[in-house]
Amino acid sequence: MHTTQAEKLVRKQFLISPSQVKKLSRLARDEETSVAEMVRVAIDSYNPDAPTIADLDAPELMALVSKRLKEAISSTKKANRTIGKALKKLSKGEL
């Protein structure tokens, strides 16, 4: 859920620890996005009323695990394609 440029944003200041700054910076770099976008996504994702894993019964838990596994497989395939393309370019001396 990325913020669109047309959406009006409001500047806010928050106090966070140096370790949290470091973590946010690393996560944003890894996701190739801004720290501000990482914070917006985290806020949008937060739902205190969402059931915890302990609240799920077996079928719900299996559905959640299946969904997360499919997401991980998809992400891994995408990463493998990107690495494969980079390796081809390297072997051709294009990088």
For residue range 15-74, what is the model confidence (pLDDT) as tens digits?
999 999 999 999 999 999 999 999 999 999 888 887 777 777 888 889 989 999 999 999
For 93: left if phi > 0, alpha if psi spans -120 to 50, otherwise beta; the answer is left
**DSSP state, residue 20:** H
Same domain, 33 and 64: no
Answer whether residue 90 is part of any domain: yes
Rounded to two decimals, the pTM is 0.48
Task: Tell me, rounded to whole angstroms, the distance of Cα 66 from its chain centroid.
Answer: 18
Answer whether residue 5 is part of any domain: no
**Does pLDDT of 4 surpass 90?**
no
pLDDT band at 5 (very low <50, low <70, confident <90, very high): low
Answer whether residue 2 is part of any domain: no
Range of the domain at 81: 51-95
Instruction: Please state at what angle helix 35-45 crosses helix 18-31, rounded to 10 degrees.
Output: 100
